[in-house]
Amino acid sequence: MAAAITGVGVTCPSKLSQTAVGRRQKRCASIIRMTLVEEKKKTYSLKKSEEAFNAAKELMPGGVNSPVRAFKSVGGQPIVFDSVKGSHMWDIDGNEYIDYVGSWGPAIIGHADDEVLAALSETMKKGTSFGAPCLLENVLAEMVISAVPSIEMVRFVNSGTEACMGVLRLARAYTGREKIIKFEGCYHGHADPFLVKAGSGVATLGLPDSPGVPKAATFETLTSPYNDISTVERLFEANKGQLAAVILEPVVGNAGFISPKPDFLNALRKITKENDTLLIFDEVMTGFRISYGGAQEYFRVTPDLTTLGKIIGGGLPVGAYGGRREIMEMVAPAGPMYQAGTLSGNPLAMTAGIHTLKRLKEKGSYEYLDKITGQLVKGILDAGKKAGHAISGGFISGMFGFFFQDGPVYDFEDAKKSDTAKFGRFYRAMLEEGVYFAPSQFEAGFMSLAHTSEDIEKTIAAAEKVFRTL
């Protein structure tokens, strides 16, 4: 408090009666709070970020190495960060933010966790990459296999994109078929066959498809609206005996947060089984997030194959695909389907993954994520509605989202009805209040075990204030 008083130039008088002291202290505290808020507002500057980003634009396309980071859909200045810890981030201008992006999912136990950092530095002493088997691969593989119901064998790769590329080749190799069904607004990385009505950055930038993707690469990709089993049935009918796989995000995070309708996943399981088509859950986002065993454990629907990423690398580059042993044994060198990687299974990524999963496995982790995420989402929805805005949203465990519309949102077409301009204004104002959400209406939010009730209360208070001004 003393520092705050000096900092804003307010002093409390000392020689007063007890009640007068109480009253005076309250007034002082409120003056200090007001002054601090004004001070903060005055001092919120992104000058250094602006300079760095302008320089970056000359060096890298759009100034970034992944499109959504450029803030195109929310406008304003992208923020250049300096450091992260727990649930907070600091930019190069010295501004502090409560973070609900969590590096797009991996930071589920909080950023720069002390235990993970200590384990990494121990591993690093032995080297960063062997290009040969290491024991840590066995440890993480065992953890993944025992956690995720569909996975009997696993192959580690370096990103979610790579995992989805690999799993698609495997599904085609195993079934001897080429056609696949994907869902509008679902994102499975940036490999050619998936860049059809894809979510995430493609949706954020409003890109129809990407130039450079040969027609032949997407010719066998059929699409359906999410949550629409009758379109899926029609596609199966029209392509009898030709469908290798149905791939989906079991809970969508790349078109905003969209839950599956109660029987959607079961219906997909049934129709794929009946047609000898493989069901693939892309759990790059939901794996170890909505429960330890992912969406398949949460919804009790077991796919044939699963992709993972993000959390299992604890903040280092990683991906994985896995499934039934007889299918996985198609993968080279056990079988003929080729897929390889110079840095795959490297000791650093394995270490961060192992220690992240260990923490998640502790009793109460998912209950805590569920509780605080629920509080946040309820608080934001209440604040928006109270101020007269159309807003809807939801959450499962530590994954959430809200749309600037009344909803309900069942698919990407519904999601697109959101007031994205208003979301942009909300987004930028929340930054000034020290809250960092994903810079797009079409991305989910992520909570971590490091978030506190205080973080949530501050965020809701900021949202209440911002909603009143929109």
Ligand X SMILES: Cc1ncc(COP(=O)(O)O)c(C=O)c1O
Binding residues for ligand X, per CB under 6 A?
Answer: 104, 159-161, 164, 187-189, 200, 249, 253-254, 282, 284-285, 309, 319
Question: Which one, 78 or 102, has the nearer CB to ligand X?
Answer: 102
Decide the pairing of beta strands 179-183 and 435-436.
Answer: unpaired
Name the active-site residue from 282, 304, 411, 455.
282
Question: Which one, 166 or 384, has the nearer CB to ligand X?
Answer: 166
Name the active-site residue from 113, 310, 410, 455.
310
Residue 417 appears among annotated catalytic residues? no
Q: What is the nearest approach in angstroms of ligand X to the Cβ of residue 400?
A: 15
Cβ atoms 98, 435 nearer than 8 A: yes
Question: Which one, 49 or 221, has the nearer CB to ligand X?
Answer: 221
Residue 114 appears among annotated catalytic residues? no
Cα 192 versus chain centre, distance = 22
Q: What is the nearest approach in angstroms of ligand X to the Cβ of residue 203?
A: 12
Name the active-site residue from 187, 366, 410, 427.
187
Question: Which one, 250 or 394, has the nearer CB to ligand X?
Answer: 250
Residue 252 in tokens: 């969508």
Q: How far apart are CA 127 and CA 129, in angstroms?
A: 6
Residue 273 appears among annotated catalytic residues? no
Q: What is the nearest approach in angstroms of ligand X to the Cβ of residue 201?
A: 9
Question: Which one, 309 or 439, has the nearer CB to ligand X?
Answer: 309
Active site residues: 187, 282, 310
